[in-house]
């Protein structure tokens, strides 16, 4: 018997997160351990008169590809994926990692090169604005989060199966403040950073793009970031862990970057392209059912009482202009002494909103 929480999440994904109409073609991507959730989504898609194209991720294939692929193969244009992205009406993608460190020993340049080549596929999906990325609990993810599998299983569904329309209403007040704001300042231990958001629109993340969701984000004006920030938690990207990240900005660009662990990888990613040294996103976490760091960014960037800044690509829907092959979120916890100021007014202190 299928856990009713899985059925509820499938219903949220197919009836709330994305729009599905009769005759649509929907991309359904999932890790093999998420078969139960994927199957329930598949059923819901068919019941709506739509068709699903399924892509199951099997352990070992991605690793083998990056290990054996030549530069010429990595540069090969993803013709089929581009065609598919143009034809589908929407997509559901389910993370279900069996080995979170599968790509740790793959040369960085291989992954960065392939990201550049496949970036146009990603852009097509973003432009259609009808996609959702979710997560299914696995023992590997539970281990990363320092939880038992049972604890992690409950943790995930507590974060996903909530009233998202109610969450959306809660986000309205913060969005209004950011939309009217001109300058953001973030202060915490080791951090004093500011940037302009003038003319930019805040975007509510209320369950339509990520699941779990629960943040409001806005794109900083690309040339305005000044100051320094020291992130609380490790910055994780493609299995690489970078700890103790500290960034110094001037005129919008990173002029100094350091890390206690993984500094070489950090600097390599900052050199991927000209946009990698600029901020593409400032996000404020609002899902207080996510209350601990798990080493999974889909969850961690939503932690209530935290903020995150993303190096690289800006989402264009709010007026962001920064272009990059990377989008790397890094998290600062404000629950113990941090504060957010908008135009000199404190809107959050110690992780609690004052608006």
Q: Return the biggest CA–CA distance within the chain.
A: 57
Summarize the chain as % helix, strand, coil (round to 5). Answer: 35, 30, 35
Mean pLDDT of all residues belonging to the chain: 95
What is the percent of the chain with per-residue pLDDT over 70, rounded to a whole number?
Answer: 100
Whether 111 contacts 63, CB under 8 Å? no
- Looking up tokens 């090969």 gives 76
pLDDT at 104: 85
Closest to 329 measured CA to CA, from 260, 229, 184, 255: 229
For the segment 240-291, what is each residue's pLDDT rounded down to a tens digit?
899 999 999 999 999 999 999 999 999 999 998 999 999 999 999 999 999 9
Amino acid 128: pLDDT: 87
| pLDDT, tens only, 180-193 | 999 999 999 999 99
Residue 159 has pLDDT above 80, yes or no: yes
**What's the pLDDT score for residue 230?**
98
Share of the chain above pLDDT 90, in %: 90
**CATH homologous superfamily of domain 4-160?**
Thermophilic metalloprotease (M29) (3.40.1830.10)
Q: Is the pLDDT of residue 325 over 90?
A: no
16, pLDDT greater than 80: yes
Quick one: pLDDT at residue 353? 95
**At residue 101, does pLDDT exceed 90?**
no
Where b means 16+ CB within 10 Å and e means fewer, 272-299 reads: bbebbbbbbbbbbbbbebbeebbbbbbb
pLDDT over 90 (residue 179): yes
At 31 the pLDDT is 95
Cα 39 to chain center, whole Å? 24
B/e letters for 165-182, b = 16+ CB within 10 Å, e = fewer, are: eebbeebeebbebbeebe
Residue pair 259/266 in contact (Cβ under 8 Å)? The answer is yes
Predicted local confidence at residue 126, as pLDDT: 84
Determine the pLDDT at residue 127: 86
For the segment 70-82, the average pLDDT, to the nearest whole number, is: 96
Give me the pLDDT at residue 316, please.
86
pLDDT band at 84 (very low <50, low <70, confident <90, very high): very high
Residue-wise pLDDT for 142-155, tens only, equals: 999 999 999 999 99
> Can you read off the two tokens belonging to residue 169?
């209403």
Name the pTM for this structure. 0.85
Domain boundaries, the chain: 4-160, 164-353
**Confidence (pLDDT) at 53:** 96
Please identify which residue in the block is written with the tokens 């739509």: 50
3-class DSSP state for residue 130?
coil
pLDDT confidence of residue 233: 96
Q: Give yes or no for residue 239 having a pLDDT over 80.
A: no
Local structure of residue 277 (DSSP, 8 states) = G
pLDDT on residue 348: 97
Which of 291, 284, 300 lies closest to 186 in space, CA to CA? Answer: 284
pLDDT digits (tens, 9 = 90+) for 128-144: 889 999 999 999 999 99
The confidence score (pLDDT) of residue 34 equals 97
Residue range 284-309, pLDDT digits in tens:
999 999 999 999 999 999 999 999 99
Mean pLDDT score, 99-113: 88
Q: Enter the tokens of residue 56.
A: 């199951």
């Amino acid at each position: 018997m299928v856990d009713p929480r899985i059925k509820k999440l499938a219903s949220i994904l197919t009836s709330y997160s994305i729009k599905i109409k009769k005759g649509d073609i929907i991309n359904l991507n999932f890790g093999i351990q998420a078969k139960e959730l994927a199957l329930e989504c598949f059923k819901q898609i068919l019941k709506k008169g739509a068709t699903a194209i399924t892509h199951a991720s099997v352990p070992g294939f991605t690793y083998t590809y990056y290990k054996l692929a030549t530069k010429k193969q990595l540069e090969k244009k993803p013709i089929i994926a581009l065609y598919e992205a143009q034809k589908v009406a929407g997509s559901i993608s389910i993370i279900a990692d069996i080995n979170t460190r599968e790509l740790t020993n793959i040369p960085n340049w291989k992954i960065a090169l392939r990201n550049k080549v496949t970036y146009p596929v990603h852009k097509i999906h973003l432009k259609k604005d009808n996609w959702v990325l979710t997560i299914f609990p696995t023992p590997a993810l539970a281990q990363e989060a320092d939880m038992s599998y049972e604890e992690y299983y409950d943790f995930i569904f507590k974060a996903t199966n909530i009233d998202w329309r109610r969450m959306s209403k809660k986000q309205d007040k913060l969005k209004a403040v950011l939309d009217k704001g001109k300058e953001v300042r973030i202060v915490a231990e080791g951090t004093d950073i500011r940037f302009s958001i003038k003319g930019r629109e805040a975007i509510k993340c209320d369950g339509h793009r990520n699941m779990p969701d629960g943040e409001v984000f806005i794109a900083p004006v690309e040339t305005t970031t000044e100051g320094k920030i020291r992130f609380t938690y490790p910055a994780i990207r493609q299995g690489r862990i970078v700890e103790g990240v500290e960034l110094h900005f001037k005129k919008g660009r990173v002029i100094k970057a350091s890390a206690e662990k993984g500094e070489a990888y950090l600097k390599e990613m900052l050199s991927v392209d000209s946009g990698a040294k600029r901020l593409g996103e400032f996000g404020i976490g609002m899902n207080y059912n996510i209350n601990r760091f798990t080493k999974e960014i889909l969850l961690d960037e939503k932690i209530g009482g935290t903020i995150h800044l993303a190096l690289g690509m800006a989402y264009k829907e709010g007026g962001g202009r920064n272009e990059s092959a990377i989008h790397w979120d890094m998290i600062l916890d404000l629950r113990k002494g941090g504060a957010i100021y908008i135009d000199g007014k404190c809107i959050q202190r110690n992780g609690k909103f004052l608006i």
